[in-house]
Amino acid sequence: MSALSPAAAAPPAVERIEILGLSVCRVDRAETHALLRRYLAEGGSHLVVTVDAFGAVTAASDPEYRSIVNRADLATPDGAGILWAARRLGRPLKERVSGVDLAEWLCAEGARAGFSLFFYGGEPGVAEAAAARMQARYPGLRIAGTAHGYLSPAEEAALPERIRSLRPAVLLVALGIPRQEKWLAAHRDRLAVPICMGVGGTLDVFSGRVDRAPAWMQRSGLEWLYRLLRDPRKIRKVAVLPRFVAMVMRARRADATTARSAGG
Residue 156: alpha-carbon gap to chain centroid: 21
Whole-number average pLDDT of the chain: 91
Q: What is the dihedral of CA 193, 197, 198, 201, to 10 degrees?
A: -110
Task: State the pLDDT at residue 213.
Answer: 65
Task: State the pLDDT at residue 257.
Answer: 86
Task: State the pLDDT at residue 235.
Answer: 63
When pLDDT is cut at 50, 70 and 90, the band that residue 6 belongs to is very low
Residue 56: alpha-carbon gap to chain centroid: 13
Interval 8-57: pLDDT, tens: 444 557 999 999 999 999 999 999 999 999 999 999 999 999 999 999 99
Between the alpha carbon of residue 177 and those of residues 34, 122, 189, 203, the distances in Å are 25, 13, 20, 14
Which is more confident, 258 or 18?
18
- Enumerate the β-bridge partners of residue 16: 25
Q: State pTM to two decimals.
A: 0.89
CB 182 within 8 A of CB 34: no
Task: State the pLDDT at residue 157.
Answer: 97
- Does the pLDDT of residue 256 top 80, yes or no? yes
When pLDDT is cut at 50, 70 and 90, the band that residue 229 belongs to is low
Task: State the pLDDT at residue 134.
Answer: 99
CB 29 within 8 A of CB 97: yes
When pLDDT is cut at 50, 70 and 90, the band that residue 97 belongs to is very high
Interval 182-220: pLDDT, tens: 999 999 999 999 999 999 999 999 999 887 667 777 666
CB 9 within 8 A of CB 16: no
Nearest partner of 146 among 136, 205, 132, judged by Cα = 132
Between the alpha carbon of residue 160 and those of residues 106, 149, 157, 170, 203, the distances in Å are 21, 13, 7, 13, 19
Task: State the pLDDT at residue 5.
Answer: 45
CB 74 within 8 A of CB 224: no
Q: What's the rounded Cα separation, in Å, for the pair 124 and 209?
A: 12
Each residue of 235-264: b (16+ CB within 10 Å) or e?
eebeebeeebeebbeebeeeeeeeeeeeee
Task: State the pLDDT at residue 241.
Answer: 87
Interval 155-185: pLDDT, tens: 999 999 999 999 999 999 999 999 999 999 9
- Does the pLDDT of residue 234 top 70, yes or no? no
